Amino acid sequence: MSDPALMQAIQEGDEHALHQLMRQYMPMMYAYIWRMVGNRADAEELCQETFIKVWNHAKQWRVEKGALSVWLHRIAHNCCMDFFRKNAWVTVSLDHVADVVMLDQQDTLYQLELQQHITRLLLQLPERQRSALLLCYYQGLSNQEAATVLNLTVNALESLLARARRTLKPYHESSTF
């Protein structure tokens, strides 16, 4: 089923269409949210919130507004930003994050340490820089689509991306990976 047909069915209250949408987009959205928050529990909660919003506000989506993935990313991004605003006072323990990553990956010790290192590296970034990098680098969105998600111009997005990569550079250079 195409994206517009899927959304049409969801707008009419078809639960099976929602299930199909989740099968299609959940891994992608979950990956984005997981890299944003750095742990499984919050990622699951935010992913749940995202798809509940999709169901409740399905009628707001229009084909002419752009690709469905952009709309989904925008909802997920807003959920993440609300989460960061609400939990601004919470100190994220990077050791805890590392543990979670180790539990998620069943691979060699080197691989586990590598995943832990990358997660820590991404969590060093301010939220908007992290989001810009994730959208362009991992989520496969074009610069125009990523700018739409973040409500920025393409020039502002490029500036954000360049700042993100500049921030990562010293952390990466000082590491053994």
Partner 1 sequence: MNLQRFEQLIAAYGSQAHHWPVAERQAALSWLQQQPDNALYCQAQQLDMLLNQSVAPLPAPQLYANILAKICPTPFRDGYFYLCHWLWGESQWQHCWRPALLLGLPLLLGLFASGLSTPSVEDLLWLDLEQSWVLMMAGHEMDL
Residues lying near partner 1 in the complex (CB under 8 A): 15, 18-19, 22-23, 26-27, 30-31, 34-35, 40, 44, 47-48, 51-52, 55, 104-105, 114-115, 117-119, 121-122, 136-138, 142-143, 154, 157-159, 161-162, 165-166, 168-169, 172, 177
The terminus-to-terminus CA distance of the chain in angstroms comes to: 43
Cα–Cα distance, 127 to 28 (Å, whole number): 19
Q: How far is the CB of 174 from partner 1 (least distance, A)?
A: 12
Q: How far is the CB of 145 from partner 1 (least distance, A)?
A: 11
Q: Which is nearer to partner 1, 32 or 71 (CB)?
A: 32
CA-to-CA separations, 132 to 1, 20, 108, 128, 139, in angstroms, rounded: 30, 27, 30, 6, 10
- Classified as helix, coil or strand, 77 is helix
Q: How far is the CB of 143 from partner 1 (least distance, A)?
A: 5
